[in-house]
Amino acid sequence: MDTITQFTPWLSMAGGILIGLSAVLLMALHGRIAGMTGILAAVLPPLSTDWQWRAAFLAGAIVAPMLYVAAGGEIGFQVPPSTAMLVAGGLVVGVGVIYGSGCTSGHGVCGIARLSPRSITATAVFMLATFATVFIVRHVIGA
C-alpha cells in the first residue's frame, strides 16, 4: 500500500513553535515539564492536587486543532493500519512510556532542551524503535 505524506514545512514549523512555546511557558510559569503522559496521568483518578492546569493544558491540545479547522484550516491525514494494529501500537507505546519513564514530549522536547543525558538516550531509543517499526510494517509485513 502506498502512503503519501504531505510535506508541510510551514505548518510543521508553526506547530513546532507552538509546542516549544507551550513547553517554555509551562516551565516558566509552573516549573513543570510538558510531558503529555505525565500530564494525562494526573487528571485520571486519583486526581493530582494540581489537576486544574493539567486539564487546561490537555483541553488546549484538543481544542486548538478544532479551532484551526473551524477557521478554515485543513488537517489532512490517513490512517492506513487496521484498528487492531493501532490498538497494538498504543499498547506497545504505553508499555514503553512506563519503562522509559516518560514520553517523547517530555524526553524529546523538554529533556533534550535541558541537555539531559537520560532524555537524549531515551529519545534516541524511541527514534530507533520507530525506524525499525516502520521498516518492519512497511517492508516485511507489507501492511
Residue ranges per structural domain of the chain: 9-141
Once rounded to an integer, what is the mean pLDDT over residues 58-72?
93
What is the secondary structure of 74-121 as a DSSP string?
Answer: -------S-HHHHHHHHHHHHHHHHHTTS-HIIIIIIIHHTT-HHHHH
CB 122, CB 111: distance < 8 Å? yes
Specify the pLDDT at position 94. Answer: 84
pLDDT by residue (tens digit) across 100-134? 888 888 899 999 989 999 999 999 998 998 899 88
Q: Which residue has the higher pLDDT, 12 or 17?
A: 17
Cis peptide before 81 (omega within 30 of 0): no
SS3 4: coil
Q: What backbone torsions phi and psi does residue 125 show, to the nearest 5 degrees?
A: -65, -40
Are residues 37 and 102 in contact, defined by beta-carbon separation less than 8 angstroms? yes
Instruction: Point out the least confidently predicted range of 3-17, 43-57, 109-123.
Output: 3-17
For residue 39, which amino acid is it?
I
